[in-house]
Chains A and B, each alone.
Chain A
């Protein structure tokens, strides 16, 4: 039987970390949109694995998402998705998803997206005022900037330093001065360089950046001579993107060493997590690997704790960036 033992053991202390101002009992989180907390909790108790639960991205209003087909398997390397941010809207998430995750014993990171800077600000304001936030259940907002900026002709917020700053500034104002809720910005790799984006996010006052969102990719059914996804391209994720994510994490960390980074992209193994930390990540998120094995979190925690024991590493996060700064 592969389910984790029912006698709970706490997260090993070696896996505790701090992302900016936010302490986490485990440096492992799920990535947004890849995870059903209730069902996964039945398979392995989440509080013993996760530093926080990241919600699926919520928008101010419900969104129905894209038509089928929404996913394509990519042999051996991962998958494409074109979900289209289907979600039941912020009010529903605050009334159900957040309390459900909190009830499982995990702090919640709300992944949010909007179509205008003002809407980002309004989202943040509504969240601060909400009962879950007042109860301390929401520890951070993660801005999903891979959403078209309607006011700027539909270009993604995340593909331009100015619009990144606009969204972050608005969200910061929405949170208000002195809010204990951290602000994270999830950056897209679909830009010529991520450095101006990270610099802009940092200047606009984010507490951390999440690197990275999915890569754009497409697939063609050659028999039918058609694109498989109805919107042609979708987000490429899975083990195949790991080296790309690792590159962006080390690059941003090398240029902006004071900017906390949450590394995400293709993480599946203990070695992947260690590499992300050594490249400069303070924490990591695991996404597509959940589709293959819902026990991935428990396996990573066990493996990382063992590794720390064998290597004599007291606190894993102390290795943050060592690959960058050790010759």
Chain B
């Protein structure tokens, strides 16, 4: 008998499946908020209860695509009649699928399967969460902080470091400032065009008291950023738990295809990101084994 994976932290993460369904959905808004970044609002005729960090699989109804696209749920918004639920997602045009999504007009019909996966540890009063978002990876932290505010957790307990390439990429800054309070929000740009010049790690180095205050760090964004953050915290604050939400290629999102696996050092077999995660404790991840392997074949005359 195979030893069962010892992943106790996973069972402790919140999940919500009460409204799991393949929901009809319609686009309420599809707004460009910076170079290639978009906020899309979707409405469903039924309730879609979720915990922050969960995601939906969005169908691309146009021809030319086959698989759905995983999107983190960013924020619940008021649903206009006759809908019962509306929520937003935050996406970047990265390939043909997101390119197609960026052209969807108001009223575009689609389907959203969800909510799926496990969320971030829920905010607790008196336990400061330091969130580190890169690019569209900031989306779940809007949900986390909205949840915290709804629970009566005061402004200032939680903080956000938001890393982007340039000032053109931070079109949702007003929303973030409203949620977190501008003094609890640190923007950093790789090109130095706004906020701290450099990476999220440069920002954390400059604001080391934020690390000292934190009870947990939550991160979502490009894998190299999260991996670097894990390495940084290993040295700077090894006792501080780091929760990461992984962005893997997810063909199904339902634990069916085994396509989105990562390697944990607590599990004998690779683990499905979509149903066991996407949130994991960073010190359980074998980053090297989880990284995509490409073949150095060909080469040609480049």
Q: Are B24 and A1 in contact (CB under 8 A)?
A: yes
Known A76-B63, A76-B64, A225-B298; 15 more pairs at CB < 8 Å = A3-B21, A36-B252, A36-B256, A64-B268, A67-B291, A68-B249, A86-B258, A91-B2, A95-B1, A225-B299, A226-B295, A232-B297, A290-B254, A291-B257, A293-B22
Q: Are B261's CB and A238's CB within 8 A?
A: no
Contact indicator B295/A294 (Cβ below 8 Å): no
- Residue B275 lies at the interface, judged by CB distance under 8 Å to chain A: yes
Q: Mark each residue of chain B from 53 to 92: 1 if its CB lies under 8 Å from any CB of chain A, else 0.
A: 0000001000111111000000000000000000000000
B174: Cβ under 8 A from any A Cβ: no
**When the two chains form their complex, are residues A79 and B64 in contact, meaning their CB atoms are under 8 A apart?**
no
Say whether, besides A2-B21, A36-B275, A292-B68, A62 and B2 are in contact (CB < 8 Å): yes
Cβ of A43: which chain B residues have Cβ within 8 Å of it?
20-22
Q: Is the CB of B269 within 8 A of A73?
A: no
Closest to A82 in B: B259
Contact of B17 among A3, A33, A42, A76 (CB under 8 A): A42
CB-CB under 8 A from B275, the residues of chain A are 36, 39
Contacts of B248 in A (CB 8 A): 68
Q: Scan B227-263; emit 1 where CB is below 8 A from any A CB, else 0.
A: 0000000000000000000001101101111111100
What CA separation (Å) do A290 and B300 show in the bound complex?
A: 39
A81 within 8 A of partner (CB) = yes
Measured between C-beta atoms, what is the minimum distance from A148 to chain B in Å? Answer: 19
Is A256 engaged at the interface, CB distance under 8 Å to the other chain? no
Tell me if B1 and A92 are in contact (CB < 8 A). yes
Q: Is A303 in the interface zone, CB < 8 Å from B?
A: no
Q: Known: A43-B20, A232-B295. Contact between A76 and B259, CB under 8 A?
A: no
Asked if residues B261 and A70 are in contact (CB atoms below 8 Å), the reply is: yes
* Binding site secondary structure of chain B: loop
Distance of A78 Cα from B275 Cα, bound (Å): 22
Q: What does the 1/0 interface line of B4-43 toward A look like (CB < 8 Å)?
A: 0000000000000100111110000000000000000000
Number of A-B contacts (CB under 8 A): 153
Q: Which residues of A contact B292 (CB under 8 A)?
A: 67-69, 230
- Contact between chains at A1 and B23 (CB < 8 Å): yes
Q: How far is the CB of B8 from chain A (nearest CB, A)?
A: 18
List the 7 closest pairs (A to B, CB-CB), nearest first.
A36-B255, A71-B259, A67-B293, A291-B252, A68-B292, A230-B293, A36-B256
Is B194 at the interface (CB under 8 A from chain A)?
no
Once bound together, how far apart are the Cα atoms of A42 and B111, in whole Å?
A: 17
Give chain B nearest CB distance to A88 CB in angstroms.
Answer: 5
- A292–B66 CB distance below 8 A: yes
Q: B68 to chain A: which residues have CB within 8 Å?
A: 291-292
Asked if B45 is at the interface of the complex by the 8 Å CB criterion, the answer is yes
Given A68-B261, A86-B258, the answer on whether A79 and B67 have CB atoms closer than 8 Å is yes
Interface size grouping (class) on chain B = 35 or more
Contact A39 B293 (CB under 8 A): no
Question: A65 on the interface (CB 8 Å rule)?
Answer: yes
Closest residue of chain B to A44 (Cβ to Cβ) is B22
Q: Cβ of B96 and Cβ of A62 under 8 Å apart?
A: no
A42 lies within 8 A of B269 (CB)? no
| A-B CB contact pairs (8 Å), 30 listed | A1-B46, A3-B21, A3-B22, A34-B252, A36-B254, A36-B255, A36-B275, A39-B275, A63-B269, A65-B258, A65-B261, A67-B289, A68-B248, A68-B249, A69-B249, A70-B259, A70-B260, A75-B65, A75-B96, A81-B251, A81-B259, A89-B2, A91-B2, A225-B302, A226-B296, A230-B293, A290-B256, A291-B67, A292-B66, A293-B22
Bound Cα distance from A70 to B59, whole angstroms: 21
- The answer to whether A295 and B22 touch (CB under 8 A), given A34-B256, A62-B268, A227-B294, is yes
Using a CB–CB cutoff of 8 Å, the interface residues on chain B facing chain A are 1-2, 17, 20-24, 45-46, 59, 63-68, 96-97, 111, 113, 248-249, 251-252, 254-261, 268-270, 275, 289-300, 302
Q: In the complex, which of the residues B255, B258, B275 has the most CB atoms of chain A within 10 Å of its own CB atom?
A: B258
The docked-state distance in angstroms from the alpha carbon of A79 to that of B275 is 21
How distant is A67 from chain B, measured CB to nearest CB, in Å? 4
User: Is there contact, CB below 8 Å, between B65 and A230?
Assistant: no
Q: How many chain A residues touch the partner (CB < 8 A)?
A: 52
The reply to whether A33 and B96 contact each other, CB–CB distance below 8 Å, is no
Name B116's closest neighbour in chain A (CB-CB). Answer: A39
How far apart sit A1 and B293, CA to CA, in the bound complex (Å)?
A: 41
Q: By CB atoms of chain A within 10 A, which of B251, B299, B300 has the most?
A: B251
CB of A2 within 8 A of CB of B22, answer: yes
Q: A1-B21, A225-B300, A293-B22 are in contact. Are A73 and B66 (CB under 8 A)?
A: yes
Question: Are B295 and A230 neighbours in the complex by a CB distance under 8 Å?
Answer: yes
Residues from chain A with a CB closer than 8 A to the CB of B261 are 65, 68, 70, 86
Pick from A63, A89, A227, A293: contact of B297, CB below 8 A.
Answer: A227
Contact with A291, one of B22, B251, B293 (Cβ below 8 angstroms) = B251
CA distance in complex: A38, B206 (Å): 47
Residues of B within 8 A of A56 (CB): 258
CB of A83 within 8 Å of the partner chain: yes
CB under 8 Å from chain B, chain A span 254-293:
288, 290-293
Interface check A35, CB cutoff 8 A: yes
A1 and B22 alpha carbons, distance in the complex (Å): 8
Tell me if A40 is interfacial: C-beta within 8 Å of chain B. yes
Q: Which A residues touch B298, using CB under 8 A? A: 225-227
Residues of A within 8 A of B46 (CB): 1
* Set of chain B residues within 8 Å of A78, measured between Cβ atoms: 66
Is A310 at the interface (CB under 8 A from chain B)? no
Contact of B290 among A65, A68, A71, A291 (CB under 8 A): A68
A64 to B270, CA, bound (A): 6
